Structure 1
Amino acid sequence: MRTIREFEERLHTDFATGEIPGFVHLYAGEEASATGVCMNLTADDHIASTHRGHGHCIAKGVDPVGMMAEIWGKKTGTCKGKGGSMHIADLSVGMLGANGIVGGGGPLVCGTALAAKLRNQPFVSVCFFGDGASNQGTIFEAMNLASVWNLPVIFLAENNGYAEATSSKFSVACDNIADRASAFGMPGITVDGFDFFAVYEAAGAAIDRARKGGGPSLVEVKLSRYYGHFEGDQQTYRAPGEVQAIRDTKDCLLQFARRVTSSGEITQAELDAIDADVKALIDGSVVKAKSDPKPTEADLLTDVYVSY
């Protein structure tokens, strides 16, 4: 969670300089979701992400140094500088990719889950999607197909309350996205996305069920993003003080720290050491990304389906 937060906070600062190409959509504030889910997964399990994918990538095991180079558009990046922020992928750790298509991950995870089922492999697939994507036909079709074929899929709805600038109160007919699960013959549960332990346990139960042949589940994680839909979004659609109040009272990192230090499981000194290590990692990744080479003209037609 700390790695994701530091990565995103640094991008927030550096993107403002104008040196980073393209758009970035930051995951800060939502760290407990990706981490709580992916800690239940192995490298052989698959996830499909969204346009807000940095947190999912890091939680699934994608190298943050390679990710930073990718976002800076460098040849040393995870996808050789050709994908950028919205298209980071690493199949070696089961990360099918961030995706600029809203709701695009549903059919992808049905594919990997079907492959696992046909091969009799105990692997699961997770589709992360937002409250906006919860209204997309691709998600409905994927949930229906997953139930019909009894696929090992977890549909993970990250409800941060806003589809770009539109409140979910105006765009989602039901109070809980998870309530839609019954229409597709699967269990649904809503959890507090600011509580790492709640996410970990709920996702773990759904993943274990799918791994044992129990079929798909819909898990809704209610949380909040700290920054705009994209960097540069002034968030004028949010109430004054709304984000700061959430940072002060609900932040997932603060909640985690309070719980583990009060129980004696982890000391504050240990957490401080982790914070220092993470800061050094992210600082180093930025220094490296800035000095790494960009793709050349010779790289333009590599890594495509057809060799020219």
Structure 2
Amino acid sequence: MRNHRKVVLLFALLFLSVLFLILSPSPLEAKDQPNFLGDQVCKECHEDLYELYKPTAHGKQGPGCEGCHGPGQGHVEGQGDTSKIFAFTAVSPVKGSQACLKCHRKQEKQNDYKRSTHGTQGLACYTCHAPHAPGKLVKLLRKDQPLLCYDCHKEVKAEFILPVRHRVPEGVVKCSDCHNPHTRLTRALLTSQNRERICAKCHRDKTGPFIYEHPASLFEGCMSCHVPHGSVNRHLLTQQDVRLLCLSCHSNSQNPANPRPLSPAFHTGALFTQTGAGFGRPCTDCHVAIHGSNSTLRFFR
């Protein structure tokens, strides 16, 4: 019995020895593997980047220069040869982002950035984030919002110059209050698939629930009447004349989403058709609770 155990132990040791020899690199291979040299060696040539990087989140908690760029021995011995190190500027955005996602797996799992609009359009993590950015910039962004977003979204920047707008340029509202730059939930990178839920974060009094709901708000949503960024019309309305906006649903040809056309009994008199230099009264002069009401079906209050 004792001899049997010795034989088993001997075979186990022999197996582990062979396995070690197979997996261990040969002396030539080991010699060819570049070594990690440490941040202080990088600093000798890249002192300006090192001083920027040191106070950042990456510098305080992160993996060091070689954690992102790989072992630096070949780079140093090659007198700065960028082919001997992982240089983000020399690889595709997809490959560069993969290096970031080695650490940021949790964020990728939550948002699936690679399949988002930004990801599929070829934006790398470092298009918006600078790993060496000064520590005063939040989340290592290259610029503060909204200036960073404006670099690509120039048409949106133009909308925020309009006289009626969400106060993004003033810093009261941020792009990221409504948009998640990493998500694939929606093409517009919204923070929720339900647009009205986003609006309700600030405009809670307009979203109900009400006893008498306005179908335009309930079924078609805020953007059936409003634009989200900026407008020349008051209240960010899609049309300047409130009556024309209302008539896009409330006409004699009934709209399936709102089967209530104008009632002739109330809307054909002189007060409605002729006052105000012939232009009539705005619908909201009477129907003031236009988003919904708890007291009247006609949204009078």
TM-score (norm: length of structure 2): 0.20
Higher strand share: 1
TM-score (norm: length of structure 1): 0.19
Bigger Cα Rg: 2
